[in-house]
């Protein structure tokens, strides 16, 4: 895995920053420098509705199709290119600002604002030559009537009238030309759920576009029913904020400004737990971590990602052979006080900066990433102690 790909394991490449601060008491007791990071598992609670709806978005992600199942060439990330944004969402503004997440006209975004969804998840990928970008999304609404309001409003604003029945089993919401080619977006309404499937192509081959979207509709339609909504009373859903203690093993995020501070101070965008499949739909670089390594659960914050593997041996093989793949000339570094078979770091360049990555493991693998090596090692040392305290189950 390259430095850029490893950086993408964390939310938006948020990193461990700040001035390293040694903790003498911990260092003396464990011979580890954990800085000012906590070293025991934590309890994760939703403080604001956005905290809970974001986690519900990850649950919805399990019922979203993978782009590469629609077209095997769609295996390239769109993150950081052209304003694409993928992951859990909980308000319409996330969909339309500068084309984020889904390419929408202003009129289509207005249609979504007419009856806001509660939570959703967006997946996206493109082919190698970047001539096709496919997006799949699924949204939960308060009611079937709310879904119908959105669909009717979007159809009425379609820039190309008369295309409502372009794809069997779906209603066409938008057909428009863009700088990168034509974009076709279709919707599938089932009860209080709305799926959106969108393809942007550099060509205007209508038959090819229809073929891809028709397959997508066939795959997505039955998956909508797989989602079992968390009950909601008032503004906040009753969704578990941890699963099997995966989030208790993570270092909490620090206060951010994601989406007008709707999230509470210990949450940033994409913080939460997910299955390995949804983890791959969030970050396509992680396709195959479930089938190849047996990863079945992931917990994420802006500081760390924690992956659950079948056993400690498998986790060790993962970080020794696949998870950390430094570029030539950049040797591995060890984390002071931790056996090199259980922890390793490397440095690499991504975009315009040098990024340091450390991984530690028991049965679980924890990644920390940042631009200050000592700080990243401190976070990794803290994670090592957290994993030991939480145990292998």
Longest dimension (CA), the chain: 73
Where are the domains positioned within the chain? 64-226, 247-390
CB 68 within 8 A of CB 287: yes
Instruction: Give 97-144 pLDDT, tens digit per residue.
Output: 544 557 778 888 888 888 999 999 999 999 999 899 999 999 999 999
Most confident of 56-60, 130-134, 283-287: 56-60
What is the pLDDT at residue 348?
Answer: 80
Q: What is the dihedral of CA 237, 239, 242, 243, to 10 degrees?
A: -160
Q: What is the mean pLDDT of residues 58-63?
A: 98
Confidence band for 222, pLDDT divided at 50, 70 and 90:
very high
pLDDT in tens, 227-248: 999 999 889 999 999 999 999 9
**Residue 322 pLDDT > 90:** no
Query: How far apart (Å, rounded) are the C-alpha atoms in residues 268 and 282?
Result: 15
Nearest to 218 by CA among 260, 169, 257: 169
Q: Which of 7, 138, 162, 117 is nearest to 64 (CA)?
A: 138
Q: What is the pLDDT of residue 262?
A: 87
Q: What integer is the mean pLDDT of 37-59? A: 96
Q: How many CB atoms lie within 10 A of CB 328?
A: 5
Residue 1 confidence (pLDDT): 47
CATH class of 64-226: alpha beta
Residue 74 pLDDT = 94
With a pLDDT cut of 90, the percent of the chain lying above it is 57
Q: What is the dihedral of CA 176, 177, 178, 182, to 10 degrees?
A: 90
Report the predicted TM-score, pTM, of the whole model to 2 decimal places: 0.89
Give residue for tokens 């081959």.
205
pLDDT in the model for residue 226: 98
Q: In what order do the strands lie in the sheet with 87-89?
A: 87-89, 119-126, 132-140, 193-201, 181-190, 171-178
275: confidence class by pLDDT, cuts 50, 70, 90: very high
Average pLDDT of the chain, as a whole number? 86
For CA atoms 75, 80, 84, 85, give the dihedral sign: positive
Structure confidence by residue, pLDDT tens digits, 67-101: 999 999 999 888 655 556 789 998 887 876 544 55
What is the per-residue DSSP string for 163-215? Answer: -TTSSTTSEEEEEEEETTEEEEEEEEEETTEEEEEEEEESS--HHHHHHHHHH
Mean pLDDT, residues 24-28 taken together: 49
pLDDT digits (tens, 9 = 90+) for 172-218: 998 887 555 688 999 999 999 999 999 988 877 788 899 999 999 99
Where does the pLDDT of residue 164 fall: very low under 50, low under 70, confident under 90, or very high at 90 and above?
A: confident
Angle, helices 106-113 vs 144-156, to 10°: value is 160
* Amino acid 119: pLDDT: 96
Burial of 371 (0-12, 13-18, 19+ CB in 10 A): middle
Q: What is the pLDDT of residue 49?
A: 95
Give the torsion through C-alpha atoms of 367, 373, 378, 379, to 10 deg.
-30
Look at residue 326 and tell me whether its pLDDT is greater than 80: no
> Are 261 and 274 in contact, with CB atoms under 8 Å apart?
no
Q: What's the CA gap between 71 and 136, in Å, rounded?
A: 12
209-227 burial, b at 16+ Cβ within 10 Å, e below that, comes to bbebbbbbbeebeeebeeb
* Residue 227: strand, helix, or coil: coil
Nearest to 135 by CA among 208, 67, 73: 67
Q: Which residues of 289-304 are buried (b: 16+ CB within 10 A; e: fewer)?
A: bbeebbbbbbbbbbbb
Report whether 134 contacts 125 (CB < 8 A).
yes
């Amino acid at each position: 895995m390259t430095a850029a790909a490893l950086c993408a394991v964390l939310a938006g490449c948020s990193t461990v920053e700040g001035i390293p601060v040694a903790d003498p008491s911990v260092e003396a007791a464990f011979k580890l420098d954990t800085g000012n990071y906590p070293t025991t598992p934590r309890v994760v609670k939703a403080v604001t509705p956005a905290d809970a709806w974001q986690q519900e978005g990850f649950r919805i992600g399990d019922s979203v199709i993978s782009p590469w199942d629609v077209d095997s060439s769609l295996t390239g990330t769109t993150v950081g290119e052209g304003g694409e944004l993928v992951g859990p969402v909980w308000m319409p503004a996330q969909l339309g600002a500068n084309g984020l997440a889904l390419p929408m006209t202003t009129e289509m975004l207005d249609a979504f604002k007419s009856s806001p969804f509660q939570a959703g998840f967006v997946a996206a990928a493109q082919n190698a030559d970047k001539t096709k970008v496919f997006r799949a999304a699924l949204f939960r609404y308060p009611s079937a009537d709310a879904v119908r309001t959105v669909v009717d409003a979007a159809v009425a604003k379609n820039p190309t009238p008369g295309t409502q029945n372009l794809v069997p089993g779906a209603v066409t919401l938008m057909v428009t030309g863009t700088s990168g080619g034509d974009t076709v977006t279709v919707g599938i309404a089932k009860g209080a759920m709305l799926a959106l499937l969108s393809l942007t192509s550099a060509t205007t081959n209508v038959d090819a576009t229809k073929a891809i979207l028709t397959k997508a509709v066939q795959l997505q339609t039955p998956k909508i029913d797989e989602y079992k909504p968390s009950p909601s009373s008032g503004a906040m859903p009753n969704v578990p904020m941890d699963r099997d203690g995966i989030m208790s093993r993570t270092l909490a995020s620090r206060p951010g400004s994601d989406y007008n501070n709707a999230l509470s101070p210990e949450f940033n965008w994409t913080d939460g737990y997910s299955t390995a499949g949804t983890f791959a739909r969030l970050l396509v670089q992680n396709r195959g971590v479930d089938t190849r390594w047996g990863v079945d659960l992931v917990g994420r914050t802006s500081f760390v990602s924690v992956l659950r593997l079948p056993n400690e041996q498998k986790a060790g093989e993962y970080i020794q052979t696949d998870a950390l793949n430094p570029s030539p000339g950049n040797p591995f570094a060890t984390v002071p006080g931790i056996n090199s078979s259980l922890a390793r770091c490397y440095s690499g360049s991504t975009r315009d900066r040098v990024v340091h990555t450390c991984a530690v493991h028991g049965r679980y693998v924890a990644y920390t990433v940042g631009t200050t090596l000592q700080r990243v090692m401190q976070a990794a040392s803290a994670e090592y102690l957290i994993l030991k305290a939480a145990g292998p189950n």
